[in-house]
Homo-oligomer: A and B are copies of this chain.
């Protein structure tokens, strides 16, 4: 986790481009990290890769960076959504962080029949995703969506998007060792992690009826939702993603 300071910015990045800092970024860079004029920072914006920049103005409420050269190309994750039912705050934060590290393109909190938490702070989770990408050398920040009902989402599910459905209660799911073995290619996918209380019978029936769904069993032990998220992302990246 060492290495140069990294910041996500909305601004376009290119040679000699001036990039203004937000108040929060200025506070972080100059207040918390004690940097000043001349300091090197790496910038990314989910579009232009990673660029080296240098502080040219430093103030209490803002500052300016000037972009120098590109230090890494843009790396976009595979077209993979992660759907999960929000759980306790720390574990929800954790799932968002892990989804960024493991390379999900979109993070979608869903409300299931047995979801306890009925609200999320989308802005806080999105900021958490930005921070994860900054810390882990990413050049892309996945979008964190607002909480949606799983039933609504499934009702309008794209015909071409496959769904890996991880359910502890499904004894007849494909075992991890062979899961997705018959699937030929990547293309659009989503992973759905069950809530701590499991899915309802209605949800389970709905999911089984979908032509796009693939029931997968994540080993013989019961996994917490946050563990299941990382394990499922690993399995998918190994079989169909960019771990090749």
CA distance A241 to B221 in the complex (A): 12
Residues from chain B with a CB closer than 8 A to the CB of A233 are 231
Residue A234 CB within 8 A of the other chain: yes
CA distance A219 to B230 in the complex (A): 13
Q: What class of interface size applies to chain A in its complex with B? A: 35 or more
Interface centre among A2, A177, A196, A198 (most CB of B within 10 A): A177
Task: Say how many copies of this protein the assembly contains.
Answer: 2
A176 & B221 in contact (Cβ 8 Å cutoff)? no
Residues from chain B with a CB closer than 8 A to the CB of A241 are 219
Q: Which of A190-244 contact B (CB under 8 A)?
A: 196-198, 218-224, 227, 230-231, 233-235, 237-238, 241-244
Residue A102 CB within 8 A of the other chain: yes
CA distance A1 to B224 in the complex (A): 7
A243 & B176 in contact (Cβ 8 Å cutoff)? yes
Residues from chain B with a CB closer than 8 A to the CB of A50 are none
Q: Which of A119-155 contact B (CB under 8 A)?
A: 135-138
A238 & B237 in contact (Cβ 8 Å cutoff)? no
The residues of A with any CB-CB pair to B shorter than 8 Å are 1-2, 75, 94, 97-98, 101-103, 135-138, 175-177, 196-198, 218-224, 227, 230-231, 233-235, 237-238, 241-244
